[in-house]
Chain A
Amino acid sequence: MSKKKRLVLTEEEVFRRLIKGDEVGLARALSMIYREEASSSLLSRIYAYNAEKKEKAKIIGITGAGGVGKSTLISVLAETLLKEDKRVGVIAVDPSSPKTGGALLGDRIRLQHLFPNSNLFFRSFSSRGMVGGINPFIFDAVSVLEAASFDYIIVETLGIGQDEIDIVHMCDLTALVIAPGLGDDVQFLKSGVIELVDLIVMNKADLPTASKTVGILNSYTRMVENHPDIVKVSASKKQGIRELIAYIDNKWCELKNTGQLVERRTTRWKFQVGNWMRYIVGKKIHGFVERGEVKPKTSPYEIAISTLREWGCEV
């Protein structure tokens, strides 16, 4: 009966291998962060290393409802970029079962056929129903990928503001993917979504119902100042992909040249500080709420304020 020992790497080794782009080191770094086994110093080293790097990765967020074709789109994007000898890293986040904690992570099936390829890295994460509703681990995962020198880092999630992934803050550029026929009207009523993204990708643009959807979309975007552009593609037919990549490249360069990229990355850094604070305090709060004494005659607000002050918070 074999009892293997799981490969153990020191943080030093992990860091060293990670910055060389070694997959084992990179994968292990991601696991350590996700399992909360990474020390503060490893994280600091990664952030420091990234800050010094001249070449910046293009961090692209891809979000949208289920069924619009995000995975297919990402697979053809990756395929095209790989042909141009670019290094591509993808993070996909799927919900986990709140009951069992388990998760079925199937996003990578869509681009399995592109492997084996040393220029393509794909990592599936479950959203893990975080305590306090924030997931700082995915943010740090993006930083880990940056340290491994990818040209493009693509983050794929389901919906904005859902399941604790604030993708807009995590990425340089975020695209909302839509497809005709999937609850057209309802989606666009969430005009908050439209205001937050940089671009809207209309997938399955070859379908006859696509023009109707574009029409509805236009009527909403017109109401929003600085509304995002709409790029039409058909991922399954591989149409419009080069144009989409060109758009993303141009937009990214524009952000860089106007100083907006630096702004966004600063916002990301600040947001992540907040994420971590919320997560760490959130855990403490969760523990307190679970174990604390129930005093139904006292208002919850009273309990909250007095406890926080006990903990040394000036509120």
Chain B
Amino acid sequence: MADRVVRVLVGKPGLDGHDRAAKVMARALRDAGFEVIYTGIRQTPAQVAQTAVQEDVDVVVLNNLTGAHLEVFPLVVEELKKRGRDDIYVLATGVIPFEDVELLKEKGIDEVFGPGTGPIHIINWIKEHVLGEKQGE
């Protein structure tokens, strides 16, 4: 049995073209030992979802910096559900205010990483939830 490899999709749904954070995230996830697929910018929710299904990823990390997260991120969750893979974790990152966190979680987002968080938090979350590794403080 091979070592459990974690596959992560980093996706940028919507029209936001600022990809520094997404690219830094992708590299950091790679350095943490994950296999990372990056969709590039300007993705529709359907594109992100079909990619997640085809690549059979464990986690989808969505990033948006222009405030479109409330409309667009839940659409990705919906598309995953339509395709029968709502078991895949969906994480939200970017400029997301605290008051939107509950709303996003209600719509199926598993965790939100807003301003003040960085790749290390996502890496630890993934290790805990996907690999079941307990992270020290």
Contacts from A to B (Cβ < 8 Å)? 1-7, 23-24, 26-28, 30-31, 34-37, 96-97, 100-106, 108-109, 112, 115-116, 121-124, 126
Q: Is B30 an interface residue (CB 8 A)?
A: yes
Contact indicator A123/B55 (Cβ below 8 Å): yes
Of the residues A4, A100, A115, contact of B31 by C-beta under 8 Å: A100
**Complex-state Cα separation, A26 to B85, whole angstroms:** 13
Quick check: is B95 within 8 A (CB to CB) of the other chain?
no
Give the residues from 1 to 56 in chain B that come closer than 8 angstroms, CB to CB, to chain A.
Answer: 1-5, 26-27, 29-40, 43-44, 46-47, 49-51, 53-56
In Å, the complex CA distance between A37 and B1 comes to 7
Task: Tell me whether B102 is interfacial, beta carbon within 8 Å.
Answer: no
B83 within 8 A of A: yes
Interface membership of B110, Cβ < 8 A: yes
How far, in Å, is B125 (CB) from chain A's closest CB? 10
Question: In the bound complex, how far is the Cα of B95 from the Cα of A214, in angstroms?
Answer: 51
A124–B55 contact, CB under 8 A?
yes
Bound state CA distance, A24 and B54, in angstroms? 7
CB–CB B35/A126 < 8 A: yes
Question: Which residues from A are CB-within-8-Å of B78?
Answer: none
17 further A-B contacts with Cβ under 8 Å, apart from A7-B85, A109-B38, are: A2-B89, A27-B56, A36-B1, A101-B33, A102-B31, A102-B33, A102-B34, A102-B35, A103-B30, A104-B36, A105-B38, A115-B50, A115-B51, A116-B46, A122-B54, A123-B54, A126-B35
Name the residue of chain A whose CB is nearest to the CB of B49: A116
Q: Bound state CA distance, A253 and B83, in angstroms?
A: 36
Distance of A116 Cα from B2 Cα, bound (Å): 32
Q: How far is the CA of A126 from the CA of B37 in the complex (A)?
A: 10
- Nearest chain A CB to B107's CB is how many angstroms away? 13
Question: Taking the nearest CB of chain A, how far is it from the CB of B49, in angstroms?
Answer: 8
Are A7 and B29 neighbours in the complex by a CB distance under 8 Å? no
| Residue on B nearest A106 in the bound complex, by CB | B38
Please tell me which one of the listed residues B27, B40, B50 contacts residue A104 in the complex, with CB atoms under 8 A apart.
B27
CB contact under 8 A between A109 and B40, given known A2-B110, A7-B85, A116-B47? yes
At the interface, yes or no: B87 with Cβ under 8 Å from chain A?
Answer: yes
Contact A112 B43 (CB under 8 A): yes
A7 contacts across to B, CB distance below 8 A: 84-85, 87
With A and B bound together, what is the CA distance between A123 and B37 in angstroms?
Answer: 10
Whether A121 lies near B47 (C-beta < 8 A) is no
Separation in Å of the B28 CB from the closest CB of chain A? 10
Closest-by-CB residue of B relative to A17 is B84
Answer whether residue B81 sits at the interface, using C-beta atoms and an 8 A cutoff.
no
Question: Mind listing 17 A-B residue pairs with CB under 8 Å?
Answer: A2-B111, A4-B87, A6-B87, A7-B87, A24-B53, A27-B53, A35-B1, A35-B2, A97-B31, A102-B35, A104-B26, A112-B51, A115-B46, A116-B50, A122-B54, A123-B55, A126-B35
Q: Give B4 Cβ to nearest chain A Cβ, in Å.
A: 8
The 10 A-B pairs at the shortest CB distance, nearest first, are namely A102-B30, A27-B56, A109-B40, A116-B46, A7-B87, A31-B56, A102-B33, A100-B33, A115-B47, A36-B2
Query: Measured between C-beta atoms, what is the minimum distance from B63 to chain A in Å?
Result: 15
Select from chain A the residue with minimum beta-carbon distance to B39. A112
Which residue of the partner chain, among A1, A6, A121, contacts B58 with CB atoms under 8 Å?
A6
Q: How many whole Å from B83's CB to the nearest CB in chain A? A: 7
The distance in angstroms between the C-alpha atoms of A2 and B77, with both chains bound, is 15
| Set of chain B residues within 8 Å of A126, measured between Cβ atoms | 35
Report the minimal beta-carbon distance from A23 to chain B, rounded to whole angstroms: 5
Closest Cβ of chain B: how far from A132's Cβ, in Å?
14
The one of A6, A24, A30, A108 in contact with B84, judged by C-beta atoms closer than 8 angstroms, is: A24
Bound complex: CA A100 to CA B123 (Å): 14
What A residues does B37 contact at CB under 8 A?
A: 105-106, 108, 124
Q: Which chain A residues border B129 with CB–CB below 8 Å?
A: 3-4
Which chain A residue has the least Cβ–Cβ distance from B89?
A4
